[in-house]
Amino acid sequence: MEYFIGLMSGTSMDGIDAAVCAFDDSLPEPRFQGVQAHAAGHYPAPLRERLLTLQRTVPQLSLRELAELDRDVARAFADAAGAALAAAGLPPGAIRAVGSHGQTVFHDPAGTCGSIQLGNPSLVAQRLGITTVADFRRADVAAGGQGAPLVPAFHHALFARADRPRVALNLGGIANITLLPGADASDVSGFDTGPANGLMDEWAERQLGRAYDEDGRFAASGRLHPELLEALLGDPYFAAPPPKSTGRGDFHLDWLRHRYPGLDGLAPADVQRTLCELTARTVADAIRRHGPRTQEVLACGGGTRNPLLMERLRALLAPMALGTTAGAGLDPQHVEAAAFAWLAMRTMRGLPGNLPAVTGAERPVILGGIYRA
C-alpha cells in the first residue's frame, strides 16, 4: 500500500482540503483505496482577501508582494497537510508524495497560454519533509489544452459504470461536469459550465458581510428576477462549445453589473436567488445538451451544502437522479483533494494525468513537476 496526500483550494477560497489517500500496488495503474484522513485548513483573513483581490481585479503588485503570497500560500498548504498527516497517525516517511494543486490566481490558457497557481512547492516539500508534486496545469496548456478541468480523469477512475451513464458535478467556486457515458475512458468529456459558489459568495459577502450564504438562506428569502436571469444567461460563454474552462476572473461582481446595469435597483436577496438559479440552469442545460442519456448525477464540492441549489438542480435535471459522491463511496468534500493525490501518484509512476478529450490537449501528458524534500 502507498500513501499520498492531496491538497486543494478552489476558486471559492473557503478552505484548504487535505486528504491522506491510500493506493494499492496494482500494475500498471495503482487503484484508489480511499481517504484515510482529512483535514480542512483556512487562510488567515488578510491573506484570503489579498488572494481574492487578485482574482477580481487586474492586479497591481510588486514582485516582492507576489513572492510573499507564494510563500504564505505554501505555508498554509503545508499546515493543512501536516494536520491531515497527524489525523492519519502516519509519519512523513510513510507518504510517497504530496500532490499540491496550489491556489489559482490567473487562468487564461487561450489568451496567454498561462495558468498560475501560488504555493511554492519547494517550501511545501521542505516544511513537510515529503516530496511534493505541483504545477499540474501548465503541462496540459503547453500541449495545447485548457489546463482544466483535470479532475475528470479521477472521476472516470472512481465513478464510471458500463451500465449506468453518469455525470460527476463539482460545485466549487466554478461548476464543472464530467460526462461518464460508460466505462471507456475515451468516451469521457467534461468542461466548466460557469459560476457556482464564487459569484454567490461574492454577492453575499458584499451584502451580508459574511464569506458565504450559509445553507442558502439568503437566496431562499428572495425571489427569482427573470430579467436579470435572462441577461446573465446571454453571456457567450454558456453557448460556447467545449473544450472550455473559466474562472472567477470571468464571473465576478463587475461582470454582473456589466450584464445588468440596473443591478443596484434590485432587492439584494432577489439577486442572490437569481444567482443560485443561474448556476442551476447553466449546469442543467449543459448536462442535457451534452449528456442526454445521463441517468445519474453525482455532485461534490461546497455547493452540495446549499439546500436551495440542490433542490433547483434536482427539479431541473429530473428524471435524472441527483445525489452526491457519498453514494459512490467518497465524501463530496474530499473529492478534489483526493483527485490531486491520485494525480501525484500518476506523476510519480510516470503516467499521464490529463484527458485530451476534456482539456483539448494534443496528447496525454505527465502532469506536474516533482520537488524533492
Q: Which residues are annotated as a binding site for ATP?
A: 10-17
Q: Specify the DSSP class assigned to residue 361.
A: -
Q: How crowded is residue 56: how many other Cβ atoms within 10 Å of its Cβ?
A: 16
Q: What is the C-alpha to C-alpha distance for residues 254 and 233, in angstroms, rounded to an integer?
A: 16
Contact 279, 191 (CB under 8 A): no
The β-bridge partners of 134 are 100, 369
Contact 299, 167 (CB under 8 A): no
Binding site: what residues are annotated?
10-17
Q: What is the C-alpha to C-alpha distance for residues 184 and 162, in angstroms, rounded to an integer?
A: 8
Q: How crowded is residue 274: how many other Cβ atoms within 10 Å of its Cβ?
A: 26
The β-bridge partners of 118 are 103
- Strands 32-41 and 2-9 come out as unpaired
Contact 298, 327 (CB under 8 A): yes
Q: What is the C-alpha to C-alpha distance for residues 40 and 80, in angstroms, rounded to an integer?
A: 6
The β-bridge partners of 192 are 176
How far, in Å, are 156, 310, 329 from residue 179 at the CA level?
9, 19, 19
Contact 278, 232 (CB under 8 A): yes
Residue 153 grid coordinates: 480523469
Q: How far apart are the first and last CA of the chain?
A: 21
Q: Which is nearest to 256 in space by CA: 238, 241, 240, 278?
A: 278
Q: What is the C-alpha to C-alpha distance for residues 353 and 350, in angstroms, rounded to an integer?
A: 9
Q: What is the C-alpha to C-alpha distance for residues 329 and 302, in angstroms, rounded to an integer?
A: 17
How far, in Å, are 318, 319, 341, 348 from residue 63 at the CA level?
50, 52, 30, 32
